[in-house]
Every structure is written in C-alpha cells, then in structure tokens.
Chain A
C-alpha cells in the first residue's frame, strides 16, 4: 500500500489548474473529462513526481461547507515543503498571491499561509537545515 494520491477541493478546476501550475510551479499530470468535471492531477517536479495532488471539484455541498468553515478559521488544508521560504514568499507575492501569515518561525520549521484563489488556505514550510 502506498501514499500516492492526495486531494484538495477546489472551487473551479480551470482556475485551480492555472494557479497550481503557473503560480505554484507544479506540472499537470492527468486531465480526463468526467461528465461536467475533470479528473485533474498535478505533480511536483521538485519533489516526488509520482505523488499526485488531485484538484477535486467541491460541488458536494458538504465539502463546500467544510472548506468555507476552515477558510474562515484561517486553517490551511494542505502543506507544501519549500527550501527557501523567504524567496518563495517574495516570488508568490510578486504574482499577486495574498498571504494570511507571512513567513515566521514556528517551532523547528518556518511557515507561511496563503490563499490558493480556489477556496483554500495553503501552508508552506521550510524544514530545519540538515546538519552536514
């Protein structure tokens, strides 16, 4: 058994694809039409390219309620690892991404939180430097 797929609910799959590829830098992996929606996944070229993130339509009212409540509470629904959080935050802000938390030290990691324009808050974190 492997962890291979993870998913995030998105308000609009086309907007989501643009944000997760053009802004965050992921690559589209699968894009298969299924009725009104798409089976849409992205992978991270910097990370583990066989782990896919499903950009899942949030057409289910229960999912939407959950997503909106979490957003309102400021709670991120996914976390992505970065090497240099200050540089990433600067780059994303330049692209118009809005942060709810600027990079800050939180225990052993440095983290920041931003809106993905699809109804979610996303956290990115920089792990502690490995000692060589």
Chain B
C-alpha cells in the first residue's frame, strides 16, 4: 500500500518534472528530492501514473511547446530552447511523433485564430460533451437522422 506521505511526494515529483525554472530537472534529482532511490522512484512513479518520470517530463515539454507555438509570437527555435531542448532536430522528431505533425505544421494550423483569441482552440481542449457535439456535427451519431430534416418539412 502507498502511504499518504509517499503519494504526496510522488505528486510533488510530478510537479517538479513539469514546472522547472531554467532547465529540465533530472530524474535522479527528482528521486533525491522525493527521498527515494532512483530505481524505486521510477518503478513507483510508473505504477502510479502510468508512465516513467522521463516519459512524463518529455510529454510535459511537448505540451508546453504546443501552447507556446500557437499562443505566442515565438519562433520554433525559441520554443525548442524554451521547453528545454538543445537540438532543434530532436525536438522536431519528438514533437512530430507525439503530435502527429511537425511543429511548423502545428503552428500553421492553429496559430492564426488562437493569437487573436489568446486561448487554445476548442478542438485542442475538448470536454466530454463538446466531443460528443463534435461527433454529431460530423454526422457519425446521426446518420439515420439528417440534421437538416426540419428544413425540408
């Protein structure tokens, strides 16, 4: 059983992996801050949160990059540095693998509208019901009942 103080330390570790100041914190440093051995920390983190600390940290970096790419005027190189990558190449490869498109494609697709509204487009922050609404707009839930049925009456 995981005791409450260990659970709380793991939650703090998750915060440290995501919200670093100048450069991404190393997994060993977070393990030390949690008062656990590196091996035990990695194993426990994965069992509780479903991914290793390293996987979590790189996902957090990509999430931050997504926001910066479309909500600020920063260049792709600046975003790459800002989220803690030193090589544009490895940033682009990881971004493409995670998001399914390159940083520049992502920026092109979502930035123009988001910059005006200063918030993420709804398609990137779905809620349960908005997802369902998205489905019915595409007609996948309502094929048997065309949306314009009332118009033809």
A residues in contact (CB < 8 Å) with B:
5, 7, 11-12, 15, 19, 32, 34-37, 39, 54, 56-57, 59-61, 63, 68, 71-72, 74, 96-102, 115, 117-119
Across the interface, name the chain A residue whose C-beta is closest to B15: A68
Q: How large is the interface on B (under 10, 10 to 19, 20 to 34, 35 or more residues)?
A: 20 to 34
On whether the beta carbons of B7 and A74 are closer than 8 Å, the reply is yes
Contact A117 to B127, CB < 8 A, known contacts A74-B7, A99-B2: no
B47 (CB) vs chain A CBs: closest residue: A98
Give the total number of A-B pairs whose CB atoms are below 8 A apart: 76
Residues of B within 8 A of A (CB): 1-2, 4, 7-8, 11, 14, 44, 47-51, 99-100, 123-128, 131-132, 134-135, 138, 140
Q: Is the CB of B123 within 8 A of A35?
A: yes
User: In the complex, what distance in Å separates the CA atom of A56 from the CA atom of B130?
Assistant: 11
Q: Which residues of B contact A32 (CB under 8 A)?
A: 135, 140
Taking a contact as CB atoms under 8 Å apart, the answer to whether A15 and B131 are in contact is no
Q: Point out the residues of chain A lying under 8 angstroms from B135, CB to CB.
A: 32, 34, 39
Cβ contact of B51, chosen from A15, A36, A61, cutoff 8 A: A15
CB-nearest residue of chain A to B12? A72
